[in-house]
Structure 1
Amino acid sequence: MIYFDNSATTRPYPEVIETYTTVAQRYFGNPSSLHGIGMEAERLLQQSRSLVARLLGVLPGEIVFTSGGTEGNNLAVKGTALQYRSRGRHIITTKIEHASVAQAFEQLEQLDFEVTYLPVDQRGIVSVEAVQRAIRSDTILVSVIHVNSETGAVQPVEEIGRLLRAHPKVLFHVDHVQGIGKVPLSLSAGDIDLCTMSGHKFHSVKGTGILFVRSGVQLGPLLSGGQQEHAYRSGTENLAGIVAMTKALRMTLENQDANIKHMRQLQTELFCFLRTIPEAVLNTTPEVSAPHIVNVSFPGVKPEVLVHALEEHGIYVSTKSACSSKTGGASGILLAMGLNEQTAGSAIRISLSAENTMEEVREFQRALRQVLPKLYEVTRLRK
């Protein structure tokens, strides 16, 4: 099996699975319980919080554990709107956000918030100047994805953060789900107030995530009923998942530089190969891309047909972001970049991890050379 769908989810490290199992069996107490078993679980929870904070260069009190990127994004976006709506009802985002951000903004529009959706250029990049022009006296939030989940385009979030220094009443949220472990980001240097991460994108188990909430920022909680996670997220903590995610984060960041270099080599090989295919349209711009994503269109070929054809060779890629892959039609991200309907509707995404190899990339090349002419022949016959 060749797994090239790592932007959808990664395979958990074996050590992470072992940690999860050990904690689930031995530290099963509720961290909120006052007895010894509960206090033991609470100590382990706080140790994990402190380690995550140290790895990210922030304070333990700024770490909120969540169930993943979708919850973290919703808490950051809606929580800010709820908390600061008396200050203003104008919020800013881009046209290339993940569905968990885009649909959160759509919901807020129904609650009488005004949203400015910033355009991107043909590379899929939003300009800092566009952010500057959009800010108003009643703006309370700017939310920008760090690494686009479909094209890999890296947004200038640190530059946007510096811009927002002049607007202290505007909070800055960054969706860092696709960037963690692939594109380094300093939460302090970027002047970021809220930052979302998801464990299963860096080889942890599903159902785990991190929301960084800068000290002094307040959020309106989405889940009520207890005081867990600084009262932002009521409910018994997923201790085994949190400890496992902490281990996965440590392992990922310890090897980050070597992993990035390796993925970049694989990505470069893919770019070179795809440029030799006359029908291929590269939607990922290497100069502004994260090292693990390649988005390419084969106009005239249905992407789901190509995905299944490659699967017959034991190769797994995807179409759009996993959260949107089952919805029909062209990619909204690619349309926002100015691609036409045919190109935007025929794209596949190849997403790598450090566990992939150059031999796997070359096996993908051999398989694509086999299946693509057959698919184009079928298309011509149908015409």
Structure 2
Amino acid sequence: MVWLDEEQAGFGIEHLPYGVFSKAPDAPRVGVRIAGRVLDLAPVLDDEVFAAGELNGFMSRGPAFWRTTRDRVTELLDDPRRADAVAPHLHRIEDVRLHLPFQVADYVDFYCSLEHASNLGRIFRPDEEPLKPNWRHLPVGYHGRAGTVVVSGTPVRRPRGLLGRPGGPVFGPSERLDIEAEVGFVVGTPSRLGEPVPGAAFADHVFGAVLVNDWSARDIQAFEYVPLGPFLGKSFATSVAAWVTPLAALDAARVAGPRQDPPPSPHLARGEAAGLNLMLEVALNGEAVSRPPFAGMYWTPDQMLAHMTANGAALRTGDLFASGTVSGAAAAERGSLIELTWNGAEPLKLADGGRRAFLEDGDEVVLSATAPGPDGATIALAPVAGRIEPAPTSR
């Protein structure tokens, strides 16, 4: 079958990520990516849940339905006898428009990389212990802005805000615009208010994973964050990939997370193979500048979920929670410019002769990632891209 013979580049039969696409004049609908094509699911599976312009209805049906759907799609695409029936519902990626794949209910961003947290501590508190006393006891996080989560490819307008100056704050465009290379997790099955969700129930609630770029205005953030944390320095835009990789596609990528000292509270106990062996790449204007490893994240996704609901907060279909910046021990594994340039003191030297401390207007950032798949295959998480546009004019 032609779609299985094409260059698959991480989007083979073992992956099958879900997204929302449209082809004029039709309305957006749910599809599955196979190689360089999109399979329109509503007509081939004869289920109106896939005719919706978001994944939420599908995700809310829970793990048993997710497994059945994945099995049916795999059979349709892998059985030569089905080729003639499937072919009319396959569209080339370049012929369709991709949309935000799910309606975001809530957005929580964590701070789970030991290396990232330590680097920022050394930058801003060089005479103190890099980590705050609570950091090794719980995955620190903040509640983000669901309404400004945008799909990959959406332009990012440089934000304005209050910037600290020796003579007092001034309002103006951010001068220290940054990226954060992250991995996000999308909730499918909700939970009841007042009932914590243990990490062991991760796969019962989490539908899949997406790459996330949590754009950050470091100067706005620096002035506002004491004592309640990030707000306008983060809430102007968060980009997510257009395709959600189902958890089932990442079975071969599961690894044990790093040793935790001290051991976490029992309610944050980690399950076996709770980490994921994902290798991220950060490209700035087409040039790879960093390759952060997700496998070394101190706090694993199941612990993020358990902490997020430990007080009885309910999960909703479409909740997105992200890992925080993924950074490794080596300088070339740092997932943000503030680390890569040590807060601007050591600008990046680019291949075209340019230098970057923080993002300039017109810069494009693309995050990508790969993971091991079954039988030696490679899973490529869908990339997330964004280009910086100038700040709005003053009014």
Which category of TM-score, normalised to the shorter sequence, fits these structures? Answer: under 0.3
* TM-score scaled by length of structure 1: 0.24
TM-score scaled by length of structure 2: 0.24
In terms of fraction of residues, the more strand-rich structure is 2
Which one has a larger percent helix, Structure 1 or Structure 2? 1
